[in-house]
Amino acid sequence: MLVALIIWLPPIVGMFSLDGTILGLPILFVYFFAGWGILIALCAILTSALRHAAQTERK
């Protein structure tokens, strides 16, 4: 997905390499894992919508 390429470009990732923590985890790690989870969820939603569209097209 193009979104994955954009959110992991070095200038954007650099914005999240801060000296802070969220729930005890470095902000950069939270950014990577939250982005990863969101991308997986978006892929699941897209796959479900495409599968539903293909099934209704066959009928």
Contact at 8 Å (CB) between 16 and 31? yes
Per residue in 4-58, pLDDT (tens digit) is 888 889 999 999 988 999 999 999 999 999 999 999 999 999 999 999 999 888 7
DSSP for the chain, written as a single string: -HHHHHHTSHHHHHTT--S-EETTEEHHHHHHHHHHHHHHHHHHHHHHHHHHHHHHHH-
Indicate whether 36 belongs to any domain: yes
Indicate whether 39 belongs to any domain: yes
Total domains in the chain come to 1
Q: What pLDDT score was predicted for residue 4?
A: 84
Q: What pLDDT score was predicted for residue 25?
A: 95
**Containing domain of residue 45, as a range?**
27-52
User: How far apart are the C-alpha atoms of 50 and 44, rounded to whole Å?
Assistant: 10
